[in-house]
Structure 1
Amino acid sequence: MQNTIIEKLSILADSAKYDVSCSSSGGKRKNEGKGLGNAEGMGICHSYTEDGRCVSLLKILLTNFCIFDCAYCVSRKSNDVKRVGFTVQEVVDLTINFYRRNYIEGLFLSSGIFKDSDYTMERLVRIAKKLRLEHNFNGYIHLKTIPGASEELIKEAGKYADRLSVNIELPSELSLQTLAPEKNYQEILTPMGNIKDQLVLVKEEKKLFKSTPSFAPAGQSTQLIVGATPESDRQILALSSGLYKNFELKRVYYSGYVPVVTDSRLPIISTPPIIRENRLYQADWLMRLYGFDAKELLDEQNPNLDLQIDPKLAWALRNRHVFPLEINTADYEMIVRVPGIGLKSAKKIVAARRFAYLSWENLKQIGVVIKRAKYFITCGGRSLETREWDEEAIRRRILFGEKGDRNGLWGSQLDLFQQAS
């Protein structure tokens, strides 16, 4: 009996939920004339934009048939699940119908690999092409690039997709060989390199010819699984740093390992490593926007991120010799490293002190989190703290407040935290 569209949608949408690399697009595809949709200035994902809007997309697999047997994947060929697949036209129709009903703002399309990489990639490209050319669809499209796909197909995909992504899957070649023996880093990094080269080429051509067609204007991203293999956070951040530098990725996404299949090669866990995943995102943010290097955040003595406190605070506590900073004279690059001071607040501080000497009240009005920053800065040579606190005391007071410190609640609260982790 032939599967209905609803049955396919239920299965293939559920299978796609483990891929977290769907992000705000960053694309500005305008709707000129009477086309359908508009991706200008909007993030397209199940997430919240800076102004608080929740945006959505149709996130599905083209098929859950797959020739690979990756240990961690719900679509692995040895897994006993119902196999279905959309036709090219079915995905096009679903996207258009969902968009017209205002259910979605774009399409995130991935796929299991059936027959071979090029055969699968060609169908993903055909879907994006039909949406753009036959339906004049200007909404956001994110295509998952299939490892091993040809350079020609990747170039074709970039003509119609706003963002391309190639999942690196695991933090090391050894882990990939162990859990996904049919895959290798070369087949993953080669398309990443092709996308990067094409992005650079188009950028240079646009300087000469404004009419140069766009290529994946929202760039490329990737995803790796955290917790399925023994790599430390230091190894993971070193890999991410290299990917940002060598392939100019927009984002690296970290997915806490979820045990969806049983395999002796996989660890036995009761809950996904959500706190660890969150700390990696925070560290990633520091590398991309705050000027931190991966080697500053973690070293041989500290190979894993502290689960109790965020990476910025952990760095500040390990580097007490750098502080306190005088907020009225410190460089912007150092101000953003102060716990409790974000990018916007740092810019406001630098702008405001050109006209007046800043006080603690001024910093509070600017938006500085005083209860964190007060241990690391002075204002006009004055500190809010009358005594010198050691690293453990600062950690304790920031985590549980000054009342918790005075009343001796640190031990019991820490025990509760560790149990929850």
Structure 2
Amino acid sequence: MAQLTLTRKLAILSDAAKYDASCASSGSERRNAKATGGIGSTAPGSGICHSYAPDGRCISLLKILLTNFCVYDCVYCVNRSSSNVARARFSVEEVVKLTLDFYKRNYIEGLFLSSGIIRSPDYTMEEMVRVAKSLREEHGFAGYIHLKIIPNAAPELLRLAGHYADRLSTNIEMPTDEGLSQFAPEKRPGEIRTAMARVKTNWEEGQPEKKARAKPKAFAPAGQSTQMIVGADVSSDTTILGRSAALYAGYRLKRVYYSAFSPIPDASAKLPISRPPLMREHRLYQADWLMRFYGFDVDEIAGTSEAGMLDLDIDPKLAWALKSRGQFPVDVNSADRAMLLRVPGLGTRAVDRILSTRRHHGLRLDDMARLCASLEKVRPFIQTIDWTPGKALDSAHLKARLTPKPAQLSLF
């Protein structure tokens, strides 16, 4: 077999990594990337994606697999052992070289590294740890590193991974254990949960106590994340959000990523023939945001759904408000922060501005127009010194009036 060039390996293994949503790309392209044939593009195949650091900065990462060879035969995975795809494998030295070369040219600020399972979980995890160790210790690399955890790898390898990486992630893949058993029978849900629990334990042990003089060795300071595939099985949105809530509570995850199932070549008859609407993925992210930052619980969000599925026409906060009209209008001059966050159209920053401004004077409708992004969306649900929605709040046409155009995506 002919020896693959490094460029060809990069093309194969960056394309193979695009299905992992734990490191999301913006989907945009840099200027003249196609014309120059360069690597300054976030389009599939370039290997560069956009993610976010713990402080909110958008950072560019080299997103690749160590190899797309895999001993597992997961039905939903394009890199499964029975798949007829081009295969490649980087050496540890090649990944280190690529990362450093891209970093020195200012194309990237870090590395996202995952892999198919080769030989054994321990062997695969050890190779990935070697990459991170070489970057940190031999080359003084201070950029961001995100490593994928291989379930069932030795605890010592996991500890080393967390020592060198900023973030770790262990994908649970399917929303239910039954779905995982159906589509990935070689994977064990218990092993995945054990790996996540070990990351949590190590992370907690790496947190310094307030009064302690000696700081413990940092472990994955950006925490851990996971990914669920949406639409490959019959799991409802309520089931998916319930699983996410349990993961956040049980394993202190920083993020659950939702990846809409994408049909793959030579797919099994067990899989759907088409992908779910991308809007479904978007609504799940919005609902997830409500749970993490707006004080909503799963039951409240599920109460807005039909047959366990979120409304694709409107965001879940608006859906909740329309079904909970008895709690509105909210007086913006007296309501507490928790209730203001439940007003459709008010995000965390707008609520902070409202709380700050009303300490100095009573808020009128004109004030709200300056303090929030969309007065049209907010107005039916609030009361100010000079405004109350009256019967407009009870209008049967309110949902239709507030429903955005089909092409429009917004986060509350």
TM-score by length of 2: 0.88
How many angstroms does 1:382 deviate by?
2.8
Task: Sort the Cα spacing of 1:302 and 1:339 in 2 relative to 1 into closer, same or farther, 3 A.
Answer: farther
Equivalent position SS for 2:7 = helix
Structure 1 residue identity aligned to 2:375: I
Quote the residue 2:75 is aligned against. Answer: 71
Task: Sort the Cα spacing of 1:51 and 1:212 in 2 relative to 1 into closer, same or farther, 3 A.
Answer: closer
Quote the residue 1:178 is aligned against. Answer: 182
Choose from 346, 362, 371 the match for 2:367.
362
Rounded to whole Å, the distance in 2 between the matches of 1:199 and 1:357 is 46
> In the alignment, is residue 379 of structure 1 matched against residue 384 of structure 2?
yes
Rounded to whole Å, the distance in 2 between the matches of 1:210 and 1:226 is 44
Structure 2 residue identity aligned to 1:61: L
How many angstroms does 1:183 deviate by?
0.6
Quote the residue 1:7 is aligned against. Answer: 8
Rounded to whole Å, the distance in 2 between the matches of 1:206 and 1:124 is 33
How many angstroms does 1:15 deviate by?
0.2
Equivalent position SS for 1:13 = helix
Quote the residue 1:334 is aligned against. Answer: 339
Structure 2 residue identity aligned to 1:277: E
Quote the residue 1:169 is aligned against. Answer: 173
Structure 1 residue identity aligned to 2:257: Y
Quote the residue 1:213 is aligned against. Answer: 217
Choose from 283, 289, 305 the match for 2:287.
283
Task: Sort the Cα spacing of 1:230 and 1:164 in 2 relative to 1 into closer, same or farther, 3 A.
Answer: same
Q: Give RMSD over aligned pairs.
A: 2.3
Rounded to whole Å, the distance in 2 between the matches of 1:233 and 1:336 is 23
Rounded to whole Å, the distance in 2 between the matches of 1:136 and 1:109 is 18
Task: Sort the Cα spacing of 1:210 and 1:380 in 2 relative to 1 into closer, same or farther, 3 A.
Answer: farther
Provide structure 2 residue ranges, at least 5 long, that are not aligned to the other structure: 26-47
Structure 1 residue identity aligned to 2:372: G
Structure 1 residue identity aligned to 2:207: K
Q: Are the counterparts in 2 of residues 62 and 112 from structure 1 also a CA contact under 8 Å?
A: yes
How many angstroms does 1:372 deviate by?
1.0
Task: Sort the Cα spacing of 1:282 and 1:391 in 2 relative to 1 into closer, same or farther, 3 A.
Answer: farther
Task: Sort the Cα spacing of 1:49 and 1:365 in 2 relative to 1 into closer, same or farther, 3 A.
Answer: farther
Rounded to whole Å, the distance in 2 between the matches of 1:292 and 1:256 is 23
Provide structure 1 residue ranges, at least 5 long, that are not aligned to the other structure: 25-43, 401-412
How many angstroms does 1:65 deviate by?
0.7
Q: Are the counterparts in 1 of residues 60 and 110 from structure 2 also a CA contact under 8 Å?
A: yes
Q: Are the counterparts in 2 of residues 324 and 378 from structure 1 also a CA contact under 8 Å?
A: yes
Q: Are the counterparts in 1 of residues 381 and 393 from structure 2 also a CA contact under 8 Å?
A: no
Task: Sort the Cα spacing of 1:207 and 1:213 in 2 relative to 1 into closer, same or farther, 3 A.
Answer: farther
Q: Are the counterparts in 1 of residues 99 and 110 from structure 2 also a CA contact under 8 Å?
A: yes
Rounded to whole Å, the distance in 2 between the matches of 1:215 and 1:282 is 29
Choose from 323, 343, 355 the match for 2:328.
323
Equivalent position SS for 2:248 = helix
How many angstroms does 1:99 deviate by?
0.8
How many angstroms does 1:390 deviate by?
3.5
Rounded to whole Å, the distance in 1 between the matches of 2:55 and 2:204 is 31
Quote the residue 1:156 is aligned against. Answer: 160
Q: Are the counterparts in 2 of residues 129 and 160 from structure 1 also a CA contact under 8 Å?
A: yes
Rounded to whole Å, the distance in 1 between the matches of 2:206 and 2:154 is 19
Quote the residue 1:229 is aligned against. Answer: 233
Rounded to whole Å, the distance in 1 between the matches of 2:165 and 2:54 is 23
> In the alignment, is residue 194 of structure 1 matched against residue 203 of structure 2?
no
Equivalent position SS for 1:22 = coil
Rounded to whole Å, the distance in 1 between the matches of 2:217 and 2:56 is 32
Rounded to whole Å, the distance in 2 between the matches of 1:146 and 1:320 is 47
Structure 1 residue identity aligned to 2:173: E
Superposition pairs of residues 2-401 of structure 1, within 5 angstroms: 2-22=3-23, 45-47=49-51, 55-204=59-208, 208-261=212-265, 262-269=267-274, 271-299=275-303, 303-380=308-385, 382-383=387-388, 385=389, 387-390=391-394, 392-399=396-403
Q: Are the counterparts in 1 of residues 73 and 186 from structure 2 also a CA contact under 8 Å?
A: yes
Task: Sort the Cα spacing of 1:141 and 1:47 in 2 relative to 1 into closer, same or farther, 3 A.
Answer: closer
How many angstroms does 1:22 deviate by?
1.5
Task: Sort the Cα spacing of 1:218 and 1:54 in 2 relative to 1 into closer, same or farther, 3 A.
Answer: closer
Equivalent position SS for 1:217 = coil
Quote the residue 2:42 is aligned against. Answer: none
Q: Are the counterparts in 2 of residues 143 and 161 from structure 1 also a CA contact under 8 Å?
A: yes
Task: Sort the Cα spacing of 1:230 and 1:59 in 2 relative to 1 into closer, same or farther, 3 A.
Answer: same
**Which deviates more, 307-316 or 95-104?**
95-104
**Which deviates more, 103-112 or 48-57?**
48-57
How many angstroms does 1:273 deviate by?
2.5
Q: Which digits, 9 at most, give the CA deviation of each residue in 1:298-334, with x for residues without a partner?
A: 0486511100000000010011111111111111100
Equivalent position SS for 1:264 = coil
How many angstroms does 1:213 deviate by?
1.9
Q: Are the counterparts in 2 of residues 326 and 381 from structure 1 also a CA contact under 8 Å?
A: no
Q: How many residues align?
A: 383
Rounded to whole Å, the distance in 2 between the matches of 1:206 and 1:167 is 32
Q: Are the counterparts in 1 of residues 51 and 61 from structure 2 also a CA contact under 8 Å?
A: no
How many angstroms does 1:83 deviate by?
1.9
Q: Are the counterparts in 2 of residues 64 and 75 from structure 1 also a CA contact under 8 Å?
A: yes
Q: Are the counterparts in 2 of residues 20 and 223 from structure 1 also a CA contact under 8 Å?
A: yes
How many angstroms does 1:226 deviate by?
0.2
Equivalent position SS for 1:218 = coil
How many angstroms does 1:392 deviate by?
3.8
Q: Are the counterparts in 1 of residues 168 and 223 from structure 2 also a CA contact under 8 Å?
A: yes
